[in-house]
Structure 1
Amino acid sequence: MKKLLILLAFAFLFLSLTSASSFDERKKYLLDYYSKARPNDQYWGDNDIKTAMGFVLARLETKKDVKYALDMLNRMQEDAPFDMFDCHQNIDAYLRFQSVYTKELKEKVRKRMTSEDYLADGSTENHRLMFKTAGYLTALAFPDWGKADTVMTHCRSVLMDVMDKTVRYGIKEFDSPTYGTFYITCLLSLYDHSKDAEFKKQVQMTLEWHLLNMAPEWLNGYFISSSLREYYFACSPHMMSPYPLLGWLFFGGGPNPVLEQKYENGELIVNNEGFYSVLAAVSSYRVPEIIQHIASDRKKAYVHKESHDMTPFAQLNYPWGFKKYTYINKTYGLASQWDGISLGWSAQMRRWKLVWESDAPASTFFLTHISHYGRSAESLFGATCREQVLQHNGTLLAMYKIESEEPHPYVTGVVPIDAIKQMKEDESGWIFFDGGSVLFAVKFCHPYTWDEDRVFRGVKHKMLRCDQRGTAAVIETCLPDKYQPTGTKTALDLFAEDILKTTKLEYIVTNPEYRQTIYHSLSGDTLKIIYNYGRFVNGEKIDYENWPLYSNPWMEQAVNGRFLNVSHGKESRVYDFRNWNVIDSKEN
C-alpha cells in the first residue's frame, strides 16, 4: 500500500509538470521560471529593459529575489537603451509595483519617462501602439507633469482610433509569433491601469477581438497561421515564441512549454523570448470562458477565414490586404493566405505552412520562393509574389513563376527529420510522409532534388528543392486513422496508393503570360489556379473581394462590420463595435 501511494504521488508530480490545466497553474509555471532565471549577458544585459523586464516582473510578483529586481530597475533607468519596447514595460512595472520602489528609484523612473517624446510613432504598427500606451500611462502616473494633459489627450485619441480600425479592418503585422505579443501586452497594461471607464471598455473589447483572432488557430499548444512577420517557422511547445506562449497561458493545451534557452558551443540556438509574455501572467485580466471553449473545441475539423490590413487608404499590401484560410483537424493544421498578385513589404512573411502535433521540437513543413531580404537564404525569411496558392480544406495547390533575375530562382522546402516517422518517394514524383499525427504528400509538376541537410534553431531539416522557375506543387493531408494498416501495408502505404490512383496534377502553359495548374484531389474536389487571373474550386471562382473579417463555426464578422457574433454551444456573445458594448446570453 505504501509503495502504491508513493507511485501515485510521483504520477501526480509528473502530470503537474507536463500539463498545467488551469490559468493559475500556467501562470505559476511561467513565474516560477522567470523569477529564478537571469538574463544572459552574452546576448543582453540585465539593464536592458526590453528583454530583462520579464525577469523583474516575475520577481516582484512572486516577492522572490526582490533586491536583485530593484537593482536591475535602477540600472535600467541609467544605462539601458530606450525605445518603444522599453518605455512601455518600464512604466507598466512602475504602476504595478511602485510600492516597493525606493524614493530614489521613483525619481529616476519619473525623470526618464517624462523626458520622452510620445508624439513619435516608430517605424511599425506595434511600435506606434507601444509609444502611445507608454505616453498614456506616463501621463496617468505623473498627473503633475507639465505635459501630462497634452500627452494624455494625444495618446488616448490615437489609441482609440487604432482600436476602432483594428476591430473593423484587422492589423498589418498579423499573427506574428513575435510581434503579436505586444498588441496583447499593451492592451493588458491599459486594461489594468486605466481609470477611464469608457476607454477601458474599448480596450477590453479590442483585447478580446485579438484573442478571438488567435483562438480558432490554436491547437493543443500550437499556433497555426500564415503571418506577415515570422522569424522562426518551427514553433512548438518544445521550441516556443512569445505570442504562442501567450496562447498557452490563456488557453492551455499540450505539454508545458520549454522555457529554457538552448545553446550549442556557446551559441544561442533557441531563444523563445518568453520573458515578453510575463506581463500577461501578472495582469488582472482573465479570458472569458466562451473564448477558452472556442480555443479548445477540436472535436471536428473546420475552416477558419480571416482578413487583415483592410483599412481604406492605409494598406501595407495595397490594394489586396491579406485574406487567410486555415484548416484545423484534430492533430494538425494547414494555413495559407491570398495576398493578390503583387506584394507590399514581405521580407518576413510566411504565406503557408503545415503544422502537426509531435514530440519532436519542430514539426512544420512548407514550400516557398525566398524573398530578396538579406538573411532570407540563410533563415528562409519572407516570401514573394512569384508564388500563388489556393487551399481547400486539407489540400493546398501552389503555383510559381520565378523571374530569371531573381537572386533565389528556385522553390525550396523544409522537412523536419525528427518529426517524420516514415518517408516514401515514388517514381511519379510524389513524396509521402508520416508525421505521426498527420499523413501528408507533396508533388511538383517538375523534377525535384534534395539539397544538403540544414539546421534551423538546432533542428536538422531535409531540404527539398525544385529549380524549374515555372512550376506548380500540391500538398495533400489527412489524419492517420483514415487508413488502417493491413498485413505488411502501413497507413502511409495505403495513403500513397489512394493518392496514386485517385489524383491528377496538370500544368498548362498556353503562352508565357497565360498559364494554369489544375489538381483533381483525393477528396474529389478540383482546384485550379490561373496565374495572376483567378483561383477556382470545383469551377467556382473564389470571391476574395468579399472575404470575411472572421468566419468559422463559432464567429462571424464582415470587414468593416459593426458586430462580431460569437457562439459556442449554449453560450453566445455579441460585440457591438459602434456602441462599444457586449451582449451576453446563455441558454438554459
Structure 2
Amino acid sequence: MTSLCTLILAATLAAADPAEPPETAAPTPKGLIAELSARQYPDAKSREAAIVQAALADLEAVKRSPSPMTGWTAQLLLKAGRKEEGLAIVRAYIGERIKEAKGRMADVEKRRQAGTYVPFPLPNGREWGEPHVNGFGLWSMVNVYMRYHDQMDAALKADFQWLFTHNTSWAGSTGNLSFLIPLNLYLTEKIWDPRLLPVDGRYGARGPGAVKMFEKRIAYTASRGSPEFASRPYMIYNIGTLLSFDNPYTDKELARRAQMAYEMSIAHAAGTWLNGNWATPAGRSYPGFVTQAPTGCADMLWTYFGGKTPRLGGNTTAVFAVAEPWRPSPLIVKAATDRAEPYVHRSRFDGERTFQTSFVNRTYALFSTATTHAPTGRKTSIWGQTYPYGVMFDQPAGDCASICWLTVPCYDDRPLTNYTPGVNSRFAEYLQHRGSLLLVANNLTDPANKPKVRTDIKGHRPFSTDAWYALAYVPHGYLAQINDSEASGRVFLHYGSVLIAFSASQKFKWDPAATVFAGKGGFHPKDSEFRVFGKDVAIAMETARPDEFPGATPAESLAAFRAAILARSKVGLTTAATPAGPVAKGSYVDRFGTKLEKTFQGEATIDGQPVDYARWPLVDNPWIHQDWDGDMRITDGVTERIYDVKNWTITERKVGSK
C-alpha cells in the first residue's frame, strides 16, 4: 500500500503544479475539492491520493471545522513531517474547545448568580460541574496526543492537560458514547495524573472496570456485531475507536483483538455495499433522504471499496480511513464489489430479535428489518431514529436521492424531529422475500397514539393529528411513472436502474407535483410522497431490473413491468385473532407467485412455511458467513479467511485444506 508520505508528497506536487495550461489560473481550494469530488476513482490507490489531496487543499477551512475528523488530517501532516501545519490544526481545535469550555463555566456562574441554575446531584453528594466537553472531539485529540505529543511545545501540552483534566463529562449513554467516553477517560488517566480530574465530574467505567467493559464490548462486536451498525453519523465512533487501542498505554493483546473486531465489522458491512449506496437497515441513522454519493461513516467504506465519490475534504471519515494504517483483505473487498449476480444478504444486528434482509440485484438493493417478540413481556421495538426501509439504487444524478422507502413514520412534521421520519414499530412490521417487501400496519387510528403538536418545539406542526398512516417517499428523477393510486391503489416507477411497484390494500392518492411535507421537503424540491390511510393497512413494494422488461422507451419497459405485476400479484388484508385481541394480517403474492404473509406481532410465512428466525445468521451472503456467537468465514471460492472469535485468531488458507 502506498505510504502516507508518498500520498502527501503527490498531493503537494499536484497542488503546486496543476494539470491546467500555464495561462489557466489554478483552482481555488474549494474549486479543487469540488473537482476531486466530481471524479470517479478506479482503485484504492487513486482514491487515497484524492482523499489526501482534498484534505490538504484548504487547511484554513480545516482549522475552522468543529469535526473530530480534522484530528486525522493533522495526523496526515505530522506523519509526513509537515509539523507546523499539523500542529496549527491541533492548536485551533484545542483552542476552540477550551473557549467553549470556559464559556460553559462562565454561563453556570452567571445562572448561579441569577438564581436560575438547576443542579444535577452526583452520588458523591456533589453537584455535576462544568465544563462538559464533547466526547467525540476528545477522542480525536487524545489520538493525536498519544501519537505526536513529542512534536508539541510546552504551551500546547498544557492546553491539552487543561482541557482533559477539567472536563467533567465522563459517562456516556448512547451506544457510541458509552464506549468512546470510557476509552477517553482510561487514556486520560494514563497520560495525566488521575488526581487532577475534577471531583465534581460524572464518571462511568474507569480503571480496571473500564478494561473489563472494553473486553466485553470488543467480544460482543466480533460475535454479535457493532452497536449502531450502519449508522451514518455514529458507526465510526463505535468501531473507529477500536483502532485507538493501538497505543503505548493499552495492553497489546487487547489492541490486537480490537483490530480484529474492527476488521470483522468492515466485513459485516461489505455485503450490502453497492457502488456508494450502503443498502442495509440501520439501528440508528439519519437523514432519511440520501444520495448514492456516500455521507458520514459511509465515506470510510468508500475509501476501502469505491463507488460514487462523496464530497471530499479535511473533515470526512475518509480521512480517518486513510490516516489509520489498517486496510481490508482482498477477500473483503471482493465481497463489497462483486455484483455480477443477484443475491440475498442476511444479518442480525441490533439485538436478538431484529433480522435484516438485503436483496442486492446488480444495480439496486431492497432492504428491511423484521422483528420477533418474546412470548411474554414487552414487545420488541426498534429505535425509530433511522431512515425507513425500501430500495437504494444506482442514481448518477447528484441532485437526486437514491432511496425510495416505505414506513409508518415516527415523525412527519415541521421541523423534522430526530432528522428522519423513522420507522414506528408500534404500528408497522415488515416481511421481505428477495425483491418483494410487505409492510403491515396495525391500529393506525388508535386514539391513544395520535400524532401530537409538540409545545417544546417552536412552530411545531405535524402533517395530521387525526391518525397515523403508511407513508412512501418518492424521489424525483424517475424516467417514467404510472399512477394508478386512485383507481387501484398502485404506483409504478422507473428509475433507470430499478423498477418499483407499490400495491396497497386500499386506494390512495399520489400527486407527483405535491412536495414532501416533513422538515425542509425531502432531498429535492421536486421529491414527492403519498400516504395510505386506514385503521389497518397492507402495502407492498416489488422490484425488478429494467433489463428484465425490455422496451424501446422507459415508458414501454415500465408498462411491461406493470402488466406482469397486474397479471399475478395481489395484496390482501384481514385480521387475525390473538390473546390480546384482533390484529392486522397482511399478505402479498408477487409476480413469481410467491406468497408473503405477516401477522402483526405474530407469525411470518413464505408460501405457507414459517420464516426460521431462530437460525438466522449474524451475517450471510455468497462470500461471508457467521452464525450468531460463531466464527466468521470469508471466501472467494479459492481462498478462505477464518476469524476464530474464541481464540482470537485469523487464519487464511486454500479452500478444502486443513
* TM-score, with length taken from structure 2: 0.76
Aligned to 1:200: 255
Considering only CA atoms, is the larger Rg found in Structure 1 or Structure 2?
2
2:240 equivalent among 179, 185, 204: 185
Mapped contact 1:47–1:76 kept (Cα < 8 A): no
1:396 CA displacement? 0.6
- Matched residues in 1 for 2:261 and 2:356: separation? 20
Q: Which residue in 2 is equivalent to 1:354?
A: 391
The residue type equivalent to 1:575 in the other structure is Y
Segment drifting more, 226-235 vs 472-481: 226-235
Q: Which residue of 1 aligns with 2:515?
A: 453
Q: Which amino acid aligns with 2:476?
A: I
1:476 is aligned to 2:546 = no
From 611, 617, 625, the equivalent of 1:548 is 617
1:212 matches 2:306: no
Aligned residue for 2:144? 93
8 A contact 2:603–2:610 mirrored in 1: yes
The one of 372, 384, 407 equivalent to 2:424 is 384
Between the aligned partners of 1:15 and 1:48, the Cα distance in structure 2 is 22
Percent identical among aligned pairs is 23
Q: CA deviation at 1:276?
A: 4.2
426, 430, 440: which is aligned to 2:500? 440
Q: How far apart, in 1, do the equivalents of 2:67 and 2:357 lie?
A: 37
1:576 equivalent in structure 2? 644
User: Is 1:422 matched up with 2:480?
Assistant: yes
Secondary structure at the aligned position of 2:500 is classed as strand
**1:517 pairs with 2:517:** no
Determine whether 1:369 maps to 2:424. Answer: no
| 1:536 has 2:605 as partner | yes
Task: Give the structure 2 partner of residue 279 of structure 1.
Answer: 320
The one-letter code sitting in structure 1 at the alignment partner of 2:178 is: R
Contact 1:84 1:131 in 2 (8 A): yes
Q: Give the residue type in structure 1 aligned to 2:594.
A: D
Q: CA deviation at 1:445?
A: 0.9
Matches of 1:49 and 1:462 in 2, distance apart? 32
Report the Cα offset of residue 31 of structure 1.
2.8
Q: Once the 2 structures are TM-superposed, how far is the Cα of residue 297 of structure 1 from its aligned partner?
A: 1.2
Counterpart Cα distance in 2 of 1:162 and 1:246: 22
Given that 1:34 and 1:59 are in contact with CA atoms closer than 8 Å, whether structure 2 keeps it comes out as: no
1:257 pairs with 305, 310, 313, which one?
310
Is contact 1:35-1:56 (8 Å) kept?
no
- Residues of 2 paired with 1:24 and 1:80: CA distance? 39
Pick aligned residue for 1:412 from 471, 481, 497: 471
Alignment partner for residue 492 of structure 1, among 523, 545, 558? 558
Residue pair 2:78, 2:87 contacting (<8 A) in 1 also: no
Q: How does 1:294-373 map to 2 (within 5 A)?
A: 294-310=335-351, 321-340=353-372, 342-344=379-381, 346-360=383-397, 361-371=400-410
**Unmatched 5+ residue regions in structure 2?**
1-18, 22-31, 102-132, 198-204, 374-378, 452-466
Matches within 5 A, 1:558-573: 558-561=627-630, 563-573=631-641
SS at the partner of 1:308? coil
Cα gap change, 1:31/1:256 in structure 2, threshold over 3 Å: closer, same or farther? same
Q: Deviations over 1:52-74 (max 9, x none)?
A: 54554455456384464144145
Contact map agreement 1:502 1:522 (CA 8 A) in 2: yes
CA shift at 1:410, angstroms? 1.4
- Distance in 2, matches of 1:274 and 1:237, equals 19
CA spacing shift, 1:242–1:54, aligned 2, 3 Å: farther
Cα deviation digits, residues 485-533 of structure 1 (max 9, x gap): 1599721111111111121222223677044222221122111112222
| Deviation readout 1:372-394 (Å, 9 max, x if unpaired) | 69855795432212111110001
Paired residues of 1:46 and 1:52 also in contact (CA < 8 A): no
1:305 counterpart SS class: strand
Give the C-alpha shift of residue 278 in structure 1: 2.4
* Contact 2:348–2:355 under 8 Å retained in 1: yes
C-alpha distance in 1 between matches for 2:281 and 2:272: 10
| 2-structure distance, mates of 1:18, 1:434 | 26
Q: Secondary structure at the match of 2:502?
A: strand
Question: Which stretch shows the higher mean deviation, 566-575 or 169-178?
Answer: 169-178
1:231 to 280, 286, 289: 286
Which letter does structure 2 place at the counterpart of 1:163?
Answer: I
How many Å apart are 1:462 and its aligned residue?
A: 0.8
Instruction: Give the AA of the match of 2:652.
Output: D
Question: SS of the residue aligned with 2:497?
Answer: coil
Q: Deviations over 1:407-440 (max 9, x none)?
A: 151111111112x111112333321111111111
Q: Is the 8 A contact 1:136 1:155 kept in 2?
A: yes
Residue in 2 that maps onto 1:313: none
**Count of paired positions:** 548
Q: What is the distance in 1 between the residues matched to 2:599 and 2:65?
A: 55
Q: 1:221 to 1:235 in 2, by over 3 A?
A: same
SS of match in other structure, 1:241: coil
1:29 corresponds to = 50
Residue 226 of structure 1: how far off its partner (Å): 0.9
**Cα distance in 1, alignment partners of residues 497 and 65 from structure 2:** 44
| Cα pair 2:227 2:238 within 8 Å, conserved | no
What amino acid sits opposite 1:544 in the alignment? Y
The structural deviation recorded for 1:209 is 1.5
2:12 maps to none
Would the aligned equivalents of 1:39 and 1:46 in 2 still touch at CA under 8 Å? yes
